[in-house]
Amino acid sequence: MKLFVTGGAGFIGSAFVRLVLSLDKGIAIVNYDKLTYAGNLANLDSVAANPNHQFIKGDICDSAASARAMAGCDAVVHFAAESHVDRSISNPADAVHTNVAGTLVLLQAARELHIQRFVHVSSDEVYGDIPPSSFSDENSPLVPSSPYSASKAASDLLVLSFVRTYGFPAIITRSSNNYGPHQFVEKFLPLMITRALADKPLPIYGDGLQQRNWIHVDDNCRAILAVLERGRLGHVYNIGGPDVKDNLTMAHSLLKIMDKPESLISHVPDRPGHDRRYALNSAKISRELNWKPVIPLNQGLCQTVEWYRASCAR
């Protein structure tokens, strides 16, 4: 199989590329990434010499370049996105352009090239604010709150429209908050870790009691690979971690792991439209594809802290 991976120099995309190539499944990867602020070729150092890995710098919004790069591939896994909520609030146009228009470009190219499977990687944020003790399943309504989540919901609907209208062979994954090594430092956990390492204040939005469903990036990538190989076409699969923790608790856990004082926590004004709770029901992927997360949260946090500690020391 020859696989076209978009955003493969980013956090989740590069983890997926490293996973697939480490399994020696005979899968060749064309890695297509624009290398914006969150894309980093250093994330791919371990596979740079692998003959089954080809990197092409390109923009998913460029229809001609995307089609040329995709030609000859059998399947697509689409990670590329403007994924930071704060950036989408300050500049919604970028999120819509990349996440909606870019996805449409890829769908059209994949349809014309008769791609066999198209996995669209989305987010639990499309479900919006989830009430306490509730969990979103794949049939829950899409009620996005931010320009980012609205753009991801729109791209999901585009994918499903191609499935319905053209019989297009697509599948959607929606994962909870990913964490782990190589994540860009503006995201919550790497921001907390890198600031704590420098003994700087940890900015916590509002009261810090916003709850998130945490999953290690390697667990998510194993799930995406299972969906690529065995998922049902036209379906959506939630990929959630076992732990729902509020941001303040996560910050306290990191400070404990790092042996840093809790006085570093600093509450700042809340983000506009900030959802209070995300939580996924992942029973479908567990039942159909026999997937479950295997990396305990504390173990994953310790591993992540050590990676950033080593990275900051270099």
At 75-107, the pLDDT tens digits run 999 999 998 887 888 899 999 999 999 999 999
- Name the active-site residue from 33, 59, 82, 124: 124
Concerning whether 127 is annotated as a catalytic residue, the answer is no
Concerning whether 125 is annotated as a catalytic residue, the answer is yes
Where do the domains of the chain lie, and which CATH numbers do they carry? 2-182+215-241+277-294 (3.40.50.720)
Give residue for tokens 């295997």: 294
At 154-173, the pLDDT tens digits run 999 999 999 999 999 999 99
**Lookup: tokens for 195:** 């600031």
Q: What DSSP character marks residue 263?
A: G
Contact of 21 with 52, CB cutoff 8 Å = yes
Percentage, residues of the chain above pLDDT 70: 100
The set of long-range contacts for 287-290, using a CB threshold of 8 Å and a minimum separation of 24, is: 288/230, 288/231, 288/232, 288/237, 289/223, 289/226, 289/227, 289/230, 289/231, 289/237, 290/226
- Name the active-site residue from 33, 59, 82, 125: 125
- Name the active-site residue from 148, 179, 278, 308: 148
Concerning whether 259 is annotated as a catalytic residue, the answer is no
pTM: 0.96
- Closest by CA position to 162, among listed 81, 83, 103: 103
